[in-house]
């Protein structure tokens, strides 16, 4: 530990021997029970021979046991009961002689010194040995049973941790690393294979050459607040601060936590996000923002209200949202003023309306997985993201074509006039970032660092695009490099700064502030006591008020490093929505609509096209553009992680993209 109390990163080598599996422990426990039962049967069979008396008749009477109930004989020796029967039969043959000498025998017995203590000593020694054997058996059973319970608890924690990381948006290309490091600390021998949507976990047992396979399948999403809580639990387990039972209980509490914001507020935030992203990403004007707000409300309603209620509609949600957004955007963009000019910008409305369902995040995860040599997961996710992009392009094309058939004078402009000066674009970035924080349910204590990282990434992108015209990959690489360096530095230095500030606050500021706030606390308790209605609540409030006067608890230091993935995710979302994301599909839809209506296209795209192949191939620009953006961001993020962590992390996995 350091002077500040924080635990440093220590390398945890792989254990020389892993914990035995459940089957090995169960076999050991059963073997001990069988050996004990066999020993008891031998001892109980030998015990009657010490106190047996000869039978009164010469013929031995059968006991009524069948051949299947005969007792087990000792190895190479007859059963002691048959010896007693032989002695008894021989004594009956000499019965007359014994009767004639009966008096002499009784006199000899009276004269012979008795040793009753020998039998008692023999019996007590046998009982002591038996109790000692039984006590040893109990200790072994308890030890093995506890070992089995611990193994089950550790495996259950790993499964629960895997489920939480997949549900709350942990970096997918590092999921196997997180579970591998946790299993190493817990001395659990296991293998992990991640496929998009599920994790295959194999708990090995080298002693019995068996494997227990578990399939963890869950719906993947993004919840930055719960991801932060899961990361805290993960760090405390890796650093041996809490046990797996408490960690599992806390993970269950995190999973049962209710929704952070109501549904109507999330839908309203979708509208604000669509309005804020338009000016700096798609050159929208101030007059276009209310229409973008309404299109965002429509998108949020379709995604969070209609799609969860119908599985059939959820399968066509993306296409229907793109069709409705492009149809309404072209309808609003075709409205003219008294001078015959279009009031709203069609291209900005169509693109900002579907910003929050662009596949940039999916393509980014696929690129990161491919770069980290996760071939199976990366290939599957990349194919899905490309098909998803084509779905969006198809939806935009259908929406623009349908309205073009209805209105022959519909707008076909692909650029906006009377733009906002580019210097004012940065004013809309904080609003869009706050909307992303709310939609992804991040903690408000994370909001300042998220805002700083998002603004810095946008500034780099803005100035790089002025000097590198059209080179999208290099621009996104530079912005992602800055975002990754800032987020990883925050992850590495943030907990130490928090511990330092917490200690200084508890040592200097809190003692000075406590007596000055005492009247305020007293008034608050007095007011709360008078507002209580039930007597039970009053007693509870009095107990809580009396306990509040107790001295403050010592400050608990944070361990390990911070969560860089949550800090950089809103900044990455700011980089993804650009005109290249849906520009190809939008232009293709306009070209198709003008061809269907006018025969020969009147837009710039068709007039500049050399042949029909170029026009028909513009729909594939959406997938190509998304891949360009994702590759640039991927390279920048990997370079930033290497710069901040040149030798990697020793004890736990790197929670960063």
Domain ranges of the chain: 138-256, 263-498+559-644
pLDDT band at 495 (very low <50, low <70, confident <90, very high): low
Is the pLDDT assigned to residue 318 strictly greater than 50?
yes
pLDDT band at 131 (very low <50, low <70, confident <90, very high): low
pLDDT for 652 equals 58
Kindly report which listed range (332-336, 438-442, 457-461, 502-506) carries the lowest average pLDDT score.
502-506
pLDDT for 248 equals 93
Q: What angle do CA 168, 174, 179 make, to 5 degrees?
A: 80
Q: How far is CA 334 from the centre of its chain?
A: 47
Between 482 and 515, the more confident residue is: 482
Across the range 112-132, mean pLDDT stands at 52
Reference 336, options 411, 263, 281, 272; nearest CA is 411
Reference 574, options 430, 478, 438; nearest CA is 430
pLDDT for 597 equals 59
If you write DSSP's letter for every residue of 275-332 in order, what string do you get? HHHHHHHH---GGGHHHHHHHHHHHHHIIIIIGGG-HHHHHTHHHHHHHHHHHHHHHH
In angstroms, rounded to a whole number, what is the distance separating the alpha carbons of residues 454 and 472?
18
Q: In terms of residues, how long is the chain?
A: 657
Q: How would you list the strands of the sheet with 210-217, edge to edge?
A: 190-195, 198-205, 210-217
In angstroms, rounded to a whole number, what is the distance separating the alpha carbons of residues 632 and 314?
31
Across the range 194-208, mean pLDDT stands at 88
pLDDT for 75 equals 40
pLDDT band at 165 (very low <50, low <70, confident <90, very high): very high
In angstroms, rounded to a whole number, what is the distance separating the alpha carbons of residues 291 and 276?
12
Are 557 and 6 spatial neighbours (Cβ–Cβ below 8 Å)? yes
Q: How far is CA 213 from the centre of its chain?
A: 19
CA dihedral over 169, 173, 179, 184, signed as positive or negative? negative
pLDDT for 323 equals 92
Between 628 and 499, the more confident residue is: 628
pLDDT band at 277 (very low <50, low <70, confident <90, very high): very high
In angstroms, rounded to a whole number, what is the distance separating the alpha carbons of residues 181 and 191?
11
User: Residue 651: which H helix or E strand, with range?
Assistant: none
What radius of gyration, in Å, describes the C-alpha atoms of the chain?
39
pLDDT for 400 equals 86
Is the pLDDT assigned to residue 91 strictly greater than 70?
no
Q: What is the dihedral of CA 204, 205, 208, 209, to 10 degrees?
A: 30
In angstroms, rounded to a whole number, what is the distance separating the alpha carbons of residues 160 and 251?
7
pLDDT for 239 equals 84
Is the pLDDT assigned to residue 562 strictly greater than 70?
no
Reference 41, options 79, 83, 14; nearest CA is 79
Q: b/e for 149-184, b at 16 or more Cβ within 10 A?
A: ebbebbbebbbbbbbbbbbbbbbbbbbbbbbebbbb
Between 592 and 526, the more confident residue is: 526
Read off φ and ψ for residue 210, nearest 5 degrees. Answer: -125, 165
Kindly report which listed range (46-60, 333-347, 466-480, 576-590) carries the lowest average pLDDT score.
46-60
Are 217 and 198 spatial neighbours (Cβ–Cβ below 8 Å)? yes
* Residue 448 CA: distances (Å) to CA of 377, 428, 499: 33, 16, 18
Kindly report which listed range (98-107, 424-433, 530-539) carries the lowest average pLDDT score.
98-107
Reference 322, options 251, 267, 397, 226; nearest CA is 397
If you write DSSP's letter for every residue of 276-290 in order, what string do you get? HHHHHHH---GGGHH
Q: How far apart are the first and last CA of the chain?
A: 28
If you write DSSP's letter for every residue of 238-269 in order, what string do you get? HTTSS-HHHHHHHHHHHHHPPPSS-HHHHHHH
Tens-place pLDDT, residues 9-56: 445 566 666 666 666 666 666 665 555 454 544 444 444 444 444 444
pLDDT for 281 equals 84
Q: Is pTM beyond 0.75 here?
A: no
Across the range 326-338, mean pLDDT stands at 89
Q: b/e for 10-20, b at 16 or more Cβ within 10 A?
A: eeeeeeeebbb
Tens-place pLDDT, residues 203-215: 988 777 888 899 9
Tens-place pLDDT, residues 593-638: 666 656 544 444 444 444 444 344 445 666 677 777 788 888 888 8
Residues 6 or more apart whose CB falls under 8 angstroms from that of 10 comprise 650, 651
Read off φ and ψ for residue 551, nearest 5 degrees. Answer: -65, 155
* Residue 650 CA: distances (Å) to CA of 171, 184, 653: 18, 12, 8
In angstroms, rounded to a whole number, what is the distance separating the alpha carbons of residues 303 and 358?
13
Is the pLDDT assigned to residue 73 strictly greater than 50?
no
In angstroms, rounded to a whole number, what is the distance separating the alpha carbons of residues 420 and 538?
59
* Residue 200 CB neighbour total at 10 angstroms: 14
pLDDT for 612 equals 44
Are 31 and 583 spatial neighbours (Cβ–Cβ below 8 Å)? no
In angstroms, rounded to a whole number, what is the distance separating the alpha carbons of residues 265 and 576?
24
Reference 164, options 218, 215, 242, 200; nearest CA is 218
Are 541 and 525 spatial neighbours (Cβ–Cβ below 8 Å)? yes
Is the pLDDT assigned to residue 292 strictly greater than 90?
yes
* Residue 245 CA: distances (Å) to CA of 150, 153, 166, 249, 628: 9, 7, 21, 6, 45
Is the pLDDT assigned to residue 340 strictly greater than 90?
no
pLDDT for 134 equals 54
């Amino acid at each position: 530990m350091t002077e500040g109390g924080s635990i440093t990163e220590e390398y945890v080598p792989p254990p020389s021997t892993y914990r035995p599996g459940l089957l090995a422990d169960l076999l050991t426990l059963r073997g001990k029970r069988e050996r004990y039962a066999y020993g008891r049967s031998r001892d109980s069979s030998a015990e009657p021979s010490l106190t047996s008396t000869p039978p009164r008749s010469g013929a031995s009477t059968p006991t009524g046991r069948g051949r299947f109930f005969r007792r087990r004989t000792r190895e190479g020796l007859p059963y002691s009961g048959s010896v007693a029967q032989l002695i008894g039969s021989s004594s009956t043959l000499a019965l007359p002689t014994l009767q004639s000498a009966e008096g002499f025998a009784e006199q000899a017995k009276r004269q012979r010194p008795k040793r009753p203590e020998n039998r008692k000593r023999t019996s007590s020694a046998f009982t002591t040995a038996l109790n000692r054997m039984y006590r040893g058996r109990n200790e072994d059973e308890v030890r093995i049973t506890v070992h089995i319970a611990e193994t089950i608890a550790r495996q259950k924690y790993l499964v629960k941790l895997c489920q939480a990381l997949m549900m709350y948006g942990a970096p997918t290309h590092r999921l196997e690393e997180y579970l591998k490091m946790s299993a190493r600390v817990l001395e659990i021998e296991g293998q992990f294979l991640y496929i998009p949507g599920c994790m295959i976990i194999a708990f090995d047992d080298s002693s019995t050459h068996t494997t227990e396979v578990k399939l963890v399948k869950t719906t993947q999403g993004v919840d930055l607040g719960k991801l932060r809580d899961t990361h805290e639990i993960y760090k405390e387990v890796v650093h041996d601060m809490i046990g797996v039972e408490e960690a599992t209980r806390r993970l269950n509490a995190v999973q049962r936590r209710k929704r952070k914001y109501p549904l109507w507020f999330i839908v309203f935030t979708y509208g604000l996000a669509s309005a804020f992203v338009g000016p700096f990403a798609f050159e929208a004007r101030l007059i276009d923002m209310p229409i973008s707000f309404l299109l965002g409300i429509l998108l949020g309603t379709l995604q969070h209200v209609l799609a969860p209620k119908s599985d059939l509609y959820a399968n066509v949600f993306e296409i229907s949202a793109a069709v409705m957004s492009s149809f309404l955007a072209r309808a609003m963009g075709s409205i003219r003023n008294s001078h015959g000019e279009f009031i709203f910008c069609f291209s900005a409305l169509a693109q900002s309306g579907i910003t929050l369902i662009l596949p940039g995040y999916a393509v980014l995860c696929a690129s990161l997985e491919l770069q980290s040599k996760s071939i199976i997961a990366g290939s599957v996710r990349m194919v899905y993201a490309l098909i998803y992009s084509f779905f969006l392009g198809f939806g935009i094309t259908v929406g623009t074509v349908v309205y073009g058939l209805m209105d022959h004078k519909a707008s076909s402009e692909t650029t906006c006039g009377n733009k906002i000066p580019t210097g004012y674009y940065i004013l809309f970035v904080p609003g869009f970032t706050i909307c992303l924080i709310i939609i992804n349910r991040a903690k408000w204590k994370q909001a300042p660092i998220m805002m700083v990282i998002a603004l810095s990434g946008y500034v780099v992108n803005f100035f790089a695009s002025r000097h590198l015209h059209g080179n999208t990959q290099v621009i996104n690489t530079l912005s992602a490099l800055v975002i990754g360096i800032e987020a990883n530095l925050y992850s590495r230095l943030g907990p130490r700064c928090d511990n330092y500030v917490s200690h200084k606050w508890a040592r200097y500021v809190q003692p000075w502030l406590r007596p000055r706030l005492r009247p305020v606390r007293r008034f608050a308790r007095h007011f709360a006591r008078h507002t209580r209605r039930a007597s039970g609540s009053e007693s509870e409030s009095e107990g809580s008020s009396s306990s509040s006067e107790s001295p403050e608890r010592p400050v608990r230091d944070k361990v390990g490093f911070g969560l860089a993935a949550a800090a950089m995710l809103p900044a990455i979302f700011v980089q993804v929505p650009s005109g290249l994301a849906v520009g190809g599909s939008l232009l293709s839809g306009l070209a198709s609509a003008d061809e269907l209506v006018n025969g020969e296209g009147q837009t710039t795209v068709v007039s500049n096209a050399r042949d029909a192949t170029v026009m028909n191939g513009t729909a594939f620009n959406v997938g190509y553009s998304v891949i360009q953006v994702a590759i640039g961001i991927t390279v920048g993020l990997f370079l930033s992680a290497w710069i901040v962590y040149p030798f990697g992390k020793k004890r736990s996995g790197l929670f960063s993209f």
